[in-house]
Amino acid sequence: MALSSPTPKSANSSAASSNNSSASALRNISFWFAVSALICLLLVDIDISTADPWAELSLMTAGALSPSVWSWPTLLSSLANTFAFALQGVTLAAIAGFTLALGYRFTLVRAFCAFIRSIHELFWALLFMQVAGLSSLTGLLAIAIPYAGTLAKIYGELFEEVDSAPANNLPPSNRRPLSHFFYSVLPLAWRSMATYTSYRFECAIRSSAILGFVGLPTLGFHLETALSDGHYSEAAAFFYALLLLIGTLRLWLHKRLLPIYLVAVFYYLPPQATISWQLLVRFVTEDIVPGPLRGQVLLSSETFNNLSQWFNALWQQQIWPGLVNTVLLGQISLVFTGLLALALLPLNSPLFMGHGRFMDHGRFISHSWKRGIGDSILVLLRTLPEYLLAFIGLLILGPSMLPAILALGIHNGAIIGHLLGRYTEEFNLRADASRGITLYFYEVLPRIYRQFLAFLFYRWEVILRETAILGILGIATLGFYIDSAFETFRFDVALLLILVSAALNISVDQFARYLRQRLQLKTVPESL
């Protein structure tokens, strides 16, 4: 497993080749997105309400500079758990995703995959916790299920996009589908699948850490505790451990060692749970059934009235306000992400970070230290889970949507900025090309703009899903109401709200897909 960051595929559609009418379509769509974000910005609360934000910030800085480990066994075991959940989850997701991808041409399979990946891993964890408790099985499934949906989509699209020449050259008679697939499709898609899966593994480590926030014994468990108690030195130690784990993956997670690691993690943390069948049955047949329907005669007018009352009250008090806040926050964050990505991309671009500019005895220095530092900053920013960023923002800036916007923007902006920077590697500039700001605005920006929009639309659904989970921090998105429902053991309400948020994510994903097709944007799965 090569753990390099994904490289965007070569650019087939640069802006240079696009005609004027499509350029104006790009301008239009960007304009309307910016306007919508500005309108949304007027509607939400972005006050800084902390009387003294610098006090908390200086404490945090002091903590970040003096990490301290209060218990090595705790740190190491939570580090191992984080790695184990991630590796097990991605392995299971890859197997399930591969199987699902074989049937990806069926609408039903695609819809199923879209559904399971539209529910955030934290919500899967909260659901499984009700029947499987705080167990290793809960952690494994919470990662494996949504990741299987994502991997199925990517694998499925890769299978569809492979060069059909080898398949066409097979004799038309006795084409056995299985041999056909294994000899003419899989080998062509294999490399991309492996690259993408290894990228998802990095995401899975972040997810695994975040699962600690709801009680699984990963890094997030202690990180959240230390942060909320204000023990910033201890929080820093856990955070650096997470960075170190992600940052050094490519040094020790080699393809050949993978089987050993896999056996080790299943031995270290076997997926198990004490499941009481009685509870499971009760959960499925009673807890998640809408309150007014429990033990009632279906199809009676009284039951129907009660149900509609129940739903109306929920709609007015939770679903509608939650939806509005989720969409507002998503829209602002999306545009902020875009702006930040454009601002950050030079950090990982050879055109701005020294490549070819510094001559060493007549040779270009191919690996610029400036770009190395620049890209490290981006990788650091994208490694910070948005949930964590929002948490820190909330402490510093006080309760409003501002910390959430900043968190989503920084995390996603860094991911897209990193990819766009790599994308500029392939640019061949004229010998007399301009430099600096002129180069950026007159050459780079027009040439990357299509790719930029493609990445951004791809990321839209992800941002929206993350918006919902920021609700757990008290920002009144759908996630806030879902968390409240779990806190008060109203699993029927929780499930309904989860389905609403899934429907929203699927709709936005479809809309983004429509926009990408209309604007003929080339998509690359790595940005997902």
DSSP3 helix / strand / coil % (the chain, rounded to 5): 75, 0, 25
Nearest to 88 by CA among 218, 244, 180, 176: 218
51 makes contact with another protein (CB under 8 A):
yes
> Contacts with another protein in 459-478 (CB under 8 A)?
474
CA atoms of 271 and 92, how far apart (whole Å): 11
Q: Which of 271, 330, 471, 479 binds another protein (CB under 8 A)?
A: 271
From residue 284 to residue 323, the character string flagging contacts with another protein as x (rule: CB under 8 A) and all else as - is -------x--------------------------------
Residue among 202, 224, 375, 526 that touches another protein (CB under 8 A): 224
Query: Among residues 18, 30, 36, 50, which is the contact residue for another protein, using CB under 8 A?
Result: 50
Nearer to another protein, 160 or 229 (CB): 229
Q: Mask: binding to another protein, 250-269, rule CB under 8 A, as x and -?
A: --------xx--xx--x---
DSSP result, 94-115: HHHHHHHHHTTTSHHHHHHHHH
Rule CB under 8 A: choose which of 484, 506, 516, 519 binds another protein.
Answer: 484
270 belongs to the binding site for another protein (CB under 8 A): yes
The neighbour count for residue 53, using CB atoms within 10 Å, is 15
Q: For residue 487, state whether it binds another protein (rule: CB under 8 A).
A: yes
User: Any contact of residue 214 with another protein (CB under 8 A)?
Assistant: yes
CA gap 335, 35 in Å, rounded: 10
**For residues 207 and 211, what is the distance between their CA atoms, to the nearest angstrom?**
6
Q: Token pair of 307, please?
A: 């149900």
Report phi then psi at 46, rounded to 5.
Answer: -125, 30
How many residues lie near another protein (CB under 8 A)? Answer: 62
Which helix (H) or strand (E) covers residue 259, if one does?
A: helix 258-268
Shortest distance in whole angstroms from residue 305 CB to another protein: 17
Look at the block and give the residue holding tokens 């999306």: 334
Choose between 183 and 427: whose C-beta lies nearer to another protein. Answer: 183
- Kindly tell me which of 443 and 483 has the beta carbon lying closer to another protein: 483
Distances from the Cα of 340 to the Cα of 79, 335, 420, 470, angstroms: 31, 9, 12, 20
Q: Is 66 in the site for another protein (CB under 8 A)?
A: no
Q: Which helix (H) or strand (E) element contains residue 364?
A: strand 363-364
Whole-angstrom Cα distance, residue 144 to residue 116? 10
User: For another protein, which is the closer residue by CB, 229 or 426?
Assistant: 229
Segment (H or E) for 360 = strand 359-360
> Which tokens is 282 given?
């009760």
Instruction: Rule CB under 8 A: say whether 67 interacts with another protein.
Output: no
Binding flags for another protein, 490-509, as an x/- string (CB under 8 A): x-------------------
Q: Which of residues 12 and 274 has its CB atom nearest to another protein in the complex? A: 274
Q: Which is nearer to another protein, 60 or 512 (CB)?
A: 60
DSSP output for 26-55: HHHHHHHHHHHHHHHHHHS------S-HHH
Task: Indicate the residue among 59 and 439 with the shorter CB distance to another protein.
Answer: 59
> For residues 245 and 237, is the Cβ–Cβ distance under 8 A?
no
**Can residue 226 be called a binding residue for another protein (CB under 8 A)?**
yes
Cα end-to-end span (Å), the chain: 19
Query: Distances from the Cα of 411 to the Cαs of 133, 384, 417, 442, 463, in angstroms?
Result: 31, 7, 10, 27, 10
- Closest Cα to residue 245, out of 284, 217, 205? 205
Q: Which is nearer to another protein, 226 or 504 (CB)?
A: 226
Binding mask 382-421 for another protein (x = CB under 8 A): ------------xx--xxx---------------------
Q: Cβ of residue 266: shortest distance to another protein, in angstroms?
A: 5
Q: What's the closest the beta carbon of residue 370 comes to another protein, in angstroms? A: 37
Q: List beta partners, residue 359.
A: 364
Binding letters toward another protein, positions 121-140, x by CB under 8 A: --------xxx-xx--x---
Q: Which is nearer to another protein, 334 or 397 (CB)?
A: 397
Question: Residue written as tokens 């950050």?
Answer: 344
Residue 358 or 489 having the CB closest to another protein: 489
CB-nearer residue toward another protein: 129 or 448? 129
Give the residue, chosen from 32, 106, 190, 364, that forms a contact with another protein under the rule CB under 8 A: 190
Q: Is the dihedral of CA 15, 21, 24, 25 positive or negative?
A: negative
Give the length of the chain.
Answer: 528
Between CA 145 and CA 152 the distance in angstroms is 11
Q: Segment near another protein (CB under 8 A), from 6-14, 46-54, 326-334, 447-455?
A: 46-54
Q: Which residues bind another protein (CB under 8 A)?
A: 45, 49-52, 55-56, 70, 91-92, 94-95, 129-131, 133-134, 137, 186-187, 190, 212-215, 221-222, 224-226, 228-231, 234, 258-259, 262-263, 266, 270-276, 279, 291, 394-395, 398-400, 474, 483-484, 486-490
